[in-house]
Amino acid sequence: MQFLIDTCTWIKLDKLQKLKEFSTSQLYLWGEVQITHEVLKEINHFRVLSCIRKDTTILPIGNRQIYDDATSTQLDEADASLLSNGARTQDKIIISEDPGLLNFARLYRITALQLIDLFQFFTEGDYLTRRELYRHTRTLRDLKNITKKRQKEIKSWLITH
Instruction: State yes or no: pLDDT of 87 exceeds 90.
Output: no
Of 82, 107, 80, 113, the residue nearest 95 (C-alpha): 113
Determine if residue 71 is left, alpha or beta; phi over 0 gives left, psi from -120 to 50 gives alpha, anything else beta. Answer: alpha
3-class secondary-structure state, position 136: helix
Summarize pLDDT for 97-150 with one digit per residue, the tens.
999 999 999 999 999 999 999 999 999 999 999 999 999 999 999 999 899 999
Summarize pLDDT for 17-36 with one digit per residue, the tens.
999 999 999 999 999 999 99
Distance CA 22, CA 54 (A): 20
b/e map 45-55, b = 16+ CB within 10 Å: eeebebbeeee
Which residues make Cβ contacts (< 8 Å) with residue 19, sequence separation at least 6? 139
- All domains of the chain in start order, with CATH: 2-113 (3.40.50.1010), 117-160 (no CATH)
As a whole-number percent, the residues of the chain with pLDDT over 90 amount to: 94
Model pTM score: 0.93
| Distinct helix (H) and strand (E) counts, the chain | 9, 5
pLDDT at position 88 is: 81
